[in-house]
């Protein structure tokens, strides 16, 4: 991508409803963070520039960063996560798996508590992709290993536990294991999350459903669950 093409795309996203500040793109094509910022917007629904987003995301995979700088680590890991999501949607699953693995490795190499990146969500992206790739048993074994590692630790708001049990709940639904089993897993998932008072009634209503359409019930629980990105997490 040329500098001119980059700037045309910057103006495209700046004129979109997202309307990001131009300062996000300072440095243009020569700045990997500017390329990552632009790629995030290009991949958004309504802008739909997947080809260009892929090119920009892939251009930062080999970029060296300061691993003592929490913002740089988080931005690169987040970009790799979004690259994985985009490749998964295009059925480029092997590439997607490689990139989510790189995101996990980068995020796990530090003890930073990130502003918006959740380590548990990165692992969930890996597990869901592995399930899609018919590697379900391996994914489930990794989930169980994570849950075992944290079961006795006093970490009340644990993204690994939330996303691990959520994966097991949805896997139970896919296997037809029964609504009660899936609900139990979701109860355990939500115990690892900070639940604001305003969400409790809707969650109770979702769990109270007595029919056997497990995927529908889990979707209703997800709707009632607070956005993980807006909560406090200990890990």
* Length of the chain as a residue count: 235
Average model confidence (pLDDT) across the chain: 94
What is the structure's pLDDT at 112?
85
Q: pTM for the complete prediction?
A: 0.92
Q: Rounded to whole angstroms, how far apart are CA atoms 93 and 87?
A: 7
Task: Give the tens place of pLDDT for each residue, 155-168.
Answer: 999 999 999 999 99
Q: 33 Cβ partners below 8 Å, 6+ apart?
A: 27, 72, 75
Structure token digits, residue 177: 């294991």
What is the structure's pLDDT at 29?
93
In terms of Cα–Cα distance, which of 60, 168, 78, 166 is closest to 122?
A: 78
Structure token digits, residue 205: 């209503």
Task: Give the tens place of pLDDT for each residue, 103-122.
Answer: 999 999 988 889 889 999 99
Query: Does 37 have pLDDT greater than 90?
Result: yes
Q: 65 Cβ partners below 8 Å, 6+ apart?
A: 32, 72, 73, 76
Q: Rounded to whole angstroms, how far apart are CA atoms 199 and 82?
A: 28
Q: Rounded to whole angstroms, how far apart are CA atoms 38 and 32?
A: 10
Number of neighbours of residue 188 by Cβ within 10 angstroms: 17
Q: Are 76 and 60 in contact (CB under 8 A)?
A: yes
Q: How many helices (H) and strands (E) does the chain have?
A: 11, 0
Q: Rounded to whole angstroms, how far apart are CA atoms 204 and 160?
A: 23
């Amino acid at each position: 991508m040329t500098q001119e093409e980059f700037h045309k795309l910057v103006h495209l996203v700046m004129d979109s409803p997202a309307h990001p500040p131009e300062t996000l793109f300072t440095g243009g094509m020569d700045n990997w963070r500017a390329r990552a910022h632009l790629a995030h917007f290009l991949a958004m629904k309504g802008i739909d520039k997947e080809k260009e987003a892929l090119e920009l995301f892939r251009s930062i995979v080999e970029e060296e960063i300061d691993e003592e700088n929490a913002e740089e680590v988080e931005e690169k890991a987040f970009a790799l996560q979004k690259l994985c999501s985009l490749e998964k949607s295009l059925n480029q699953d092997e590439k997607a798996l490689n990139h989510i693995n790189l995101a996990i490795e980068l995020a796990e190499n530090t003890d930073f508590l990130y502003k918006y990146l959740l380590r548990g969500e990165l692992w969930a992206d890996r597990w869901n992709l592995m399930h899609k790739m018919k590697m379900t048993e391996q994914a489930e074994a990794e989930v169980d290993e994570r849950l075992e590692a944290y079961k006795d630790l006093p970490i009340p708001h644990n993204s690994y536990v939330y996303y691990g049990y959520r994966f097991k709940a949805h896997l139970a639904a896919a296997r037809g294991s029964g609504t009660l089993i899936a609900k139990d897993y979701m109860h355990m998932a939500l115990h690892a999350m900070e639940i604001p008072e305003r969400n409790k009634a809707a969650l109770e209503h979702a769990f109270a459903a007595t029919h056997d359409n497990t995927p529908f019930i889990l979707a209703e629980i997800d709707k009632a669950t607070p956005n993980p990105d807006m909560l406090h997490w200990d890990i």
